[in-house]
Amino acid sequence: MNRWHVQRSWPALCAYLLLVDVGLLLYWLIALADVMPPAWLFKGYHDPVISAWNWSFLPLDLLASLTGLAGIAFTRQARTAMGESLILISLCLTFCAGLMALSFWALTADFDPSWWAANALLMLPSGWLMAARLRNLEA
C-alpha cells in the first residue's frame, strides 16, 4: 500500500490537522467558558434553537479532533496503518462538520464571511486531502 506518511505532502497534512484539531478544541473550550468575544458571535448565537444547533456539533468536532490527533500520534509511533486510517476518518468528520454548517447557513440565507470562511477551511482542504489520499491507494 502506498503510505501517506512518506509522501511530500505529509508535513503539510500534519500541520493542517494540528491547526484544525487544536482550533476546534479551543473553540469549544471558549464556548464552554462563555467568553466568546461578541464580535465573533454568529447571527442568532443566543437563540435557544440556534444554540442547540451549534452545540450539536460538539460530538462531531470532538471525534474529528481526537481521531486526527490520535492518527498523528499513531503514525509517529510507527503504527502507520492505524494512524493513517484515523487521519482519513478525521478528515471525513472535519469535512462533514464544515459542510453541515455551510448548508445550514445557505438554507437560512445567512452569510457572514468570517463564519463561512472558517467552515470552508474545514471542508475544502479536508475534501482535497481525502480525494488525494484515495487516489493514491493501491487496489
> Taking the domains of the chain in order of start, what are their residue ranges?
4-136
Cell of 50: 440556534
Task: Please give the share of the chain, as a percent, with pLDDT higher than 90.
Answer: 76
Q: How many CB atoms are closer than 10 A to CB 24?
A: 22
H or E, element range at 30: helix 10-33
Could you report the per-residue pLDDT of 9-18, keeping only the tens digit for each?
788 899 999 9
Entry pTM: 0.90
Residue 62: all three cell numbers together? 470532538
Q: How do residues 52-99 score in pLDDT, each as one tens digit?
A: 999 999 999 999 999 999 999 999 898 888 999 999 999 999 999 999
